[in-house]
Amino acid sequence: MPNPVLVEVTRGDLVESIHRGAVAIVDAAGAVRFSLGDIDAPIYTRSALKPFQALPLVESGAAEAFGVSDEEVALACASHSGESMHTTRVAAWLKRIGCSEADLICGPQTPRHEPTLQTMAETHEKPSRLHNNCSGKHAGFLTVAKHLGAPTADYVNISHPVQKAILESVSRLSDYRDPAWGIDGCAAPNFALPLTAFARALARLATGQTPGAARILKSMTTYPELVAGTGRHCTALMRAAQGKVAVKLGAEGVYAAMLPELGLGVALKIDDGAMRAAETAIAFVLEKLNVIPAGYATAPVVNTRGATVGERRPAEALQGIG
Amino acid sequence: MPNPVLVEVTRGDLVESIHRGAVAIVDAAGAVRFSLGDIDAPIYTRSALKPFQALPLVESGAAEAFGVSDEEVALACASHSGESMHTTRVAAWLKRIGCSEADLICGPQTPRHEPTLQTMAETHEKPSRLHNNCSGKHAGFLTVAKHLGAPTADYVNISHPVQKAILESVSRLSDYRDPAWGIDGCAAPNFALPLTAFARALARLATGQTPGAARILKSMTTYPELVAGTGRHCTALMRAAQGKVAVKLGAEGVYAAMLPELGLGVALKIDDGAMRAAETAIAFVLEKLNVIPAGYATAPVVNTRGATVGERRPAEALQGIG
């Protein structure tokens, strides 16, 4: 059975496009508090996995050994926009652990921050690996590898100690063993979990059921601009929530949320991979759970003249939450 | 009943995202030769409507009166990339009819052609209305307005003679009256047609059942780089087909094709609006109809390291064509 429509995009009097998907809201005991659609099929968690990929950095003792700051932990959890506030911090972190941009295995990526792009165009600067939205995650991987005395050359190999430590964390917190995996945009392994298992793990991170959890959440919610960037959706939601939620998007329509006060984890995936729909859906869930004020879920469809010609909005199925 | 899955995107061993949609292949007599999904619900035709929006330019005598070239007719049908080959031609055309960029009602738009963007960034040039992907269409509207002695100030008003002439052409060729309409990205009215009606109109344009049809098709297939641009999908398909098909994409997952030799029109809409899926679906339809060689439908999913980590491909439902 197809997943329900979660988000609609209108133009004039018609619904022009629809986005189907699935959502799971789960508590730390593993009870499903609310769900829509197929929450049992594994989905690639993509960058929404980053808080778990950063856990070994904190829990192995690597962060302490290398004096990793909360800002750097936030960058380890980030899909950042490649702004100088991101790239300079990652570069300094790499230098401190005796590494450099050349040690990053992620490829170069065009920053998504427009003023940065404009400056780079003017100065003929090419995108580097530091600009890759995952460069902080990779700096975290290198820090753990150094701390464990493991090779730094092949840290994205599925059998490397860094990746094994991540898999152990993910499996332990999700109660889901031997997940399927694929290669992410940054060349790191990415695990596929059912939304139930992923939301369960997020609830357990939210409620501090693993030693590094509190630091991950504190770092993300204290430095939301480092987790994403200027004008970004994750950043705006975390600012609006004032510590009540840590959120992380993932490519292909994934969004994850950790709610410490409510003791909940939220995971959703848009079937077609559209980020616009994932943004509307997660914002509406957070509005219904009263952790952000209203106004983040709907968005106008604007034409090149600046006129509003339609609307992106949560669909009927989502109204049942909370 | 939800539309079938038309396109899948894989990563590793899993299907990561899916795209549902509907397709209609119709002949000039109006017989549906093949269909998938709901072909009776009206969908906004978006820029796939442009060949019809260019018909009054040819059929009113405006093109002849103002010496409009085939290159300019191709631009009237275009969603162009804002390259200098597009903007300089539109600017010259406007000047010839006694107009200028200021008369274009479409808003400024960032060109999608990367080298053009790079040059503009270096020279601090801001996007203009000429860069709007619809600037050729608007130049066509202005040419018709001038020829009819109608006001040039309000040519996107639904009751303006230019828009009335377009609606007459669309209704006549589609046998579909009083379509719903909304405002397109460029501020022009856009009509919503069922895929059956739209494909029927495309088949009739393909087979020359209106005086201006042959010139529209010839202009599009002779100058495919003006209809879209360097590296664009529409351009590549028309080049590959060597005159056997004229294609036109539309925003939010729409694609239209006119096949003169086979006497067919093809119209498709991806439910979620994803252009990547519309591109795969139309290319596969054209491959199955033997108007382009194999190889245009599937595409690798590549990460920032340049490694292939998945595939975009036509789904099972599309295999039944032809």
CB contact under 8 A, A182 and B44: no
**CB neighbours of A75 closer than 8 A, spacing ≥ 6?**
A86, A89, A90, A93, A135, A136, A137, A139, A140, A226, A227
pLDDT tens column, A207-264: 999 999 999 999 999 999 999 999 999 999 999 999 999 999 999 999 999 999 999 9
Domain membership flag for residue B92: no
Domain membership flag for residue B275: yes
Is B70 an interface residue toward A (CB < 8 Å)? no
Chain A neighbors of B307, CB-CB under 8 A: 183, 187
Percent of chain A with pLDDT over 90: 98
Residue pairs spanning A and B at CB distance below 8 A:
145
CB contact under 8 A, A180 and B14: yes
Chain A neighbors of B132, CB-CB under 8 A: 304
At A267 the pLDDT is 98
Domain membership flag for residue B117: no
How high does pLDDT run on average in chain A? Answer: 97
Domain membership flag for residue A143: no
At B321 the pLDDT is 87
Query: Tokens 């652990």 sit at which residue?
Result: A97
Chain B neighbors of A13, CB-CB under 8 A: 180, 182
Q: How far is B65 from chain A (nearest CA, A)?
A: 30
Q: Which regions in chain B score pLDDT beneath 70?
A: none
Q: Rounded CA gap, A223 and A225, in Å? A: 5
Identify whether the C-beta of residue B96 lies closer than 8 Å to the C-beta of residue B69.
no
Give the mutation candidate from A1, A5, A17, A178 for the B interface (greatest B CB count, under 10 A). Answer: A17
Percent of residues in chain A assigned helix, strand, coil, to nearest 5: 40, 20, 35
Q: How far is B30 from chain A (nearest CA, A)?
A: 25
Is B214 an interface residue toward A (CB < 8 Å)? no
pLDDT > 90? residue A322 = no
* Segments in chain B forming alpha helices (H): 50-53, 55-59, 62-65, 70-76, 84-96, 114-123, 135-148, 161-174, 195-206, 213-222, 224-227, 233-241, 275-288
CB contact under 8 A, A11 and B182: yes
Q: Rounded CA gap, A21 and A268, in Å? A: 7
Count up the domains in chain A and report the number: 1
Which pair of tokens denotes residue A264? 């909940």
Chain B neighbors of A317, CB-CB under 8 A: none
Question: How wide is the angle at C-alpha A265 spanned by C-alphas A260 and A267, nearest 5°?
Answer: 145
**Backbone conformation region of residue A14, classed left if phi is above 0, alpha if psi is from -120 to 50, else beta:** beta
Domain membership flag for residue A59: yes
Domain membership flag for residue B153: no
Identify whether the C-beta of residue A3 lies closer than 8 Å to the C-beta of residue A20.
yes
Number of Cβ within a 10 Å radius of residue A160? 21
The amino acid at B321: I
Domain membership flag for residue B200: yes
Which of A110-124, A148-162, A273-287 shows the lowest mean pLDDT across its residues? A110-124
pLDDT band at A103 (very low <50, low <70, confident <90, very high): very high
Is B275 an interface residue toward A (CB < 8 Å)? no
Domain membership flag for residue B287: yes
At A35 the pLDDT is 98
Count of helix runs (H) and strand runs (E) in chain B: 13, 11
CB contact under 8 A, B180 and A17: no
Range of the domain at B286: 5-65+158-320
The verdict on ipTM greater than 0.90 is: yes
Q: How far is B284 from chain A (nearest CA, A)?
A: 19
Answer positive or negative: Cα dihedral of B109, B115, B116, B121: positive
CATH code for the domain of B252: 3.40.710.10
